Amino acid sequence: MMRGMIRRFLAALVFIAAPATAQETAPSPATPPATVVVAFNRETITPLIVEGLANLETARPVAANDPVRIASISKLIMALTALRLVDEGKLDLDRDVSDYVGWKVRSPYHPDAPVTLAHLLSHRAGLSDKAGYIIPLGESLEAKFADPAAWRDTGPSGEAAFEYANLGSPLVATALEAASGERYDRLVERLVFAPLGVKACLNWIGCDADMQARKVTLYRHTGEVAADGAGRLPSACTIPVAEGIACELANYVPGTNASIFSPQGGVRIGMLDLAKIGQAFGEPRAFFSDRAKQGFDRAWNTSFHPDQEFFCIYGLHLQIIDSSQALWANAEQPKPATCRDELFGDGVARVGHSGEAYGLQSGLWFDLGTGRGFAYFLTQVPPPAGGEDTGGFTAREKALMARAQAMIRK
């Protein structure tokens, strides 16, 4: 299997040094933007960089495990939830997603091609974000996918050219609800957060008063509040709601519109807890059964995307970065010159996911061979030239990782 080849290759790559004794960097007099980096291996989690203010209005310094909106790393957590449902025998990644949601999901360009969860989780279903991807409570998920603007004509689902699209996440999360009969936020808690001893939530639903008090407010590079300001916590409404609809989940029916939980980017979690999720991938730790791991195997078989500048190797909401020519040999082609997936530049290919939104950049990256990795976020980052959610690593992000690597080598 492709993933087996990748795992053996990664295991043979250069090991990074073991984390040093925990240390936290105090904010400088200039008060840098809130930034946290933690290193982890299979047994330990070590804060490396903890600096800046979690909230500019109150001047509260950020702490290592303060919860923050991690943006698209939320998709990796959704993939873990899906594989846990596969473990329970309630989900088949290759089944037509229509069978779960109860209505026909088809591209208008390829009406005879079934759309599966594996296609959606790997951004190969032919979806586009041009129609938008936030479906508020009270609006129809089915109507969103009936809009031709939600699709691209680049081939039938599964064969469609890779295009990163947030729109697939609400559909996947809704299918997970339908398969389990559970609300998406509760499902993630039961299958991922609770088993790993993680305190986290989606759109602040289920986060207690202590977590809410420790939140990291996200600011744009201009200093204006971008997300999770004082007025965006319970008891204020924290989910998207259509006009005239009460902000109330008591009557929500699982399997109808899980977009309200923002599965594409709405997880709030601290970096120490995010590192625990990274540890779940380490061997010999067995968070997944062999049956679930087969889902990864299928995804990696179609994960090489030579036409992409950033998402060069991506499948089932897992990306490989700092890929080498040797790794691309598994795809029987050289690494494209257009691929710009370098973050660490140390010869170690890492697996994980990045996040970018509301002035934040985040990452969870780990070496499958050694189990060592980093979880981090930085704030007040200027938007890239192509706009948010375009992917890519900024110079500031690369400098932060170089700084973290230097610390663990001491």
What DSSP designation does 306 have? T
pLDDT in tens, 153-162: 999 999 999 9
Mean predicted lDDT score pLDDT of the chain: 88
Tell me how far CA of residue 408 lies from CA of 91, 192, 245, in angstroms.
41, 29, 51
What type of residue sits at position 15?
A: F
Using alpha carbons, select from 85, 93, 92, 99 the residue that is nearest to residue 118.
93
- Tens digit of pLDDT for each residue in 46-105? 999 999 999 999 999 999 999 999 999 999 999 999 999 999 999 999 999 999 999 999
Residue 6's Cβ-side half-sphere holds a number of Cα atoms within 13 Å equal to 28
User: Residue 406: phi, psi to the nearest 5?
Assistant: -65, -35
SS3 content of the chain, % helix, strand, coil (to 5): 30, 15, 55
Give every CB contact of residue 305 below 8 A, 6+ residues apart in sequence: 162, 311, 312, 313, 314
Number of C-beta neighbours around residue 276 at 10 A: 21
CB within 8 A of 191, min separation 6: which ones? 80, 81, 84, 85
Task: Report the run of H or E that residue 50 belongs to, with start and end.
Answer: strand 45-51
How far is the C-alpha of 360 from the C-alpha of 276, rounded, in Å?
A: 21
Span 244-281, pLDDT tens digits: 999 999 999 999 999 999 999 999 999 999 999 999 98
Taking only the tens place, the pLDDT of each residue in 211-256 is 999 999 999 999 999 999 988 899 999 999 999 999 999 999 999 9
Strands 218-219 and 225-227: antiparallel
Please choose, from the candidates 61, 39, 65, 60, the residue with its C-alpha nearest in 3D space to the C-alpha of residue 51. Answer: 61
Long-range contacts at 296-300 (CB < 8 A, ≥ 24 apart): 296/3, 296/83, 297/1, 297/2, 297/3, 297/4, 298/93, 298/94, 298/118, 299/3, 299/118, 299/121, 299/122, 300/1, 300/2, 300/3, 300/6
Whether the CA torsion 144, 106, 267, 322 is positive or negative: it is negative
- Whether the pLDDT of residue 20 is over 50: the answer is no
Average pLDDT over residues 185-204: 97
Distance, CA of 227 to CA of 69 (rounded, Å): 8
pLDDT (tens digit per residue) in 306-353: 999 999 999 999 999 999 988 888 788 899 999 999 999 998 999 999
Contact 188, 258 (CB under 8 A): no
Q: Cβ(205)–Cβ(43) under 8 Å?
A: no
Are 39 and 48 spatial neighbours (Cβ–Cβ below 8 Å)? Answer: yes
| Higher pLDDT, residue 127 or 386 | 127
Provide the percentage of residues in the chain whose pLDDT is more than 70.
Answer: 87
Confidence of residue 369 (pLDDT cuts 50, 70, 90): confident
How far is 99 from 10, CA to CA, in rounded Å? Answer: 37
pLDDT at 391: 59
Domains of the chain: 1-72+210-238+269-410 (no CATH), 74-203+246-264 (3.40.710.10)
Q: What distance in Å separates the CA atoms of residue 286 and residue 195, rounded to the nearest whole number? A: 12
**Which residue in the block uniquely carries the two structure tokens 């698209």?**
72
Task: Tell me how far apart the alpha carbons of residues 12 and 347 are, in angstroms, rounded to a whole number.
Answer: 11
The whole model's pTM is what?
A: 0.90
